[in-house]
Amino acid sequence: MLVAASLAGMTALAWAYLGYESWAMGHMDLVDMAMPGTRQWGLRDLLLVFTMWTIMMIGMMTPSASPMVLLFTRIQNGRHAQGRSVVASGLFLLGYLGAWTGFSFVVTLIQWGMHAAMLVSPTMVGTSPLLGGGVLVAAGIYQWTPAKHACLSRCRSPLGFLLSEWRDGAMGALVMGLRHGAYCTGCCWLLMLVLFVVGVMNLVWITLLAILVLLEKTLRRGLWVSRAAGLALIVWGGWIARGALA
């Protein structure tokens, strides 16, 4: 219950932050307090964007990782005292979120480059329909690839992952979490880039993508949900790219 409450609390705080950032985007007089504007970025701006992406990934990905973390906790409870199991679960989650923090660093650099090339607006929406269409098509195609299927399969089977990846000790828990996070990142990284098309701080789309990831991982036919979403992204991206070339 302690671990479940911690997961829920982290998720709630992350979404509260995202709600504030989304509101600030709609009030341009406050944007400088929350996110960079049109000026050239400095270190402070990079840190702001990196923080935004990191907290966003916590809010979006923690719910879908919760079944894995809770099962890990139950197994640890059967092997060790409660205190040790809570610490191990915390390390597992730290490793998982560490993988997504690495992704956040990379995507911050991508956004920095897009900002410098004027490919993203001050409200963090992509300005190139052709590039946006390409991102959507690429994300849709990836939903059908063997790499996506392999990573998603590891995320959809918590027990199978833990049985095949089990490592004892504190370092073992951290490494297991990191490996699970790596599979999860491999599963969803292109879906996260869709935010550059629809708006990085578009709260509706952040919510929709988080729900899609959760359904992919938890529904019995989650693989078909993933592929259906891929087809929709391909059609949507093709329509946008066609409009840009017309």
- CA dist 241 and 235 (Å) reads 10
The mean predicted confidence, pLDDT, of the chain is: 90
According to DSSP, residue 39 is labeled S
Query: How many C-beta atoms lie closer than 10 Å to residue 185's C-beta?
Result: 19
Q: Residue 62 belongs to what domain range?
A: 2-245
Task: Average the pLDDT over 119-133 and give the result.
Answer: 88
Q: Average pLDDT in the 195-220 region?
A: 94
Q: Which residue, 214, 246, 241, is CA-closest to 66?
A: 214
| 16-29 average pLDDT score | 80
| 3-class state of residue 3 by DSSP | helix
Interval 140-179: pLDDT, tens: 999 999 999 999 999 999 999 999 999 988 899 999 999 9
Mean pLDDT of 180-184: 96
pLDDT at 51 over 90: yes
**Under 8 Å between Cβ of 212 and 191:** yes
**Quick count: other Cβ atoms within 10 Å of Cβ 147?**
10
Res. 82 pLDDT band, cuts 50 70 90: low
Residue type, 224: W
pLDDT at 121: 84
Tokens 């089990």 belong to which residue?
166
- Give, rounded to a whole angstrom, the gap between the first and last alpha carbons of the chain: 56
Q: How many domains does the chain have?
A: 1
Question: In the beta sheet, which residues pair with residue 120?
Answer: 126
pLDDT of 229 above 60: yes
Residues, the chain: 246
Residue 126 β-bridge partners: 120
pLDDT value, residue 191: 96
Residue 34 near residue 48, CB atoms below 8 Å: yes
Q: What is the pLDDT of residue 27?
A: 67
Predicted TM-score (pTM) of the model is 0.90
- Structure confidence at residue 81 (pLDDT): 58
Considering only CA atoms, which of 97, 50, 27, 60 is closest in space to residue 210?
60
For the stretch 100-125, pLDDT in tens is: 999 999 999 999 999 888 898 877 88
- Asked whether residue 206 carries a pLDDT value surpassing 90, the answer given is yes
Residue 34 has pLDDT above 90, yes or no: no
Whether residue 30 is predicted with pLDDT greater than 60 in this model: the reply is no
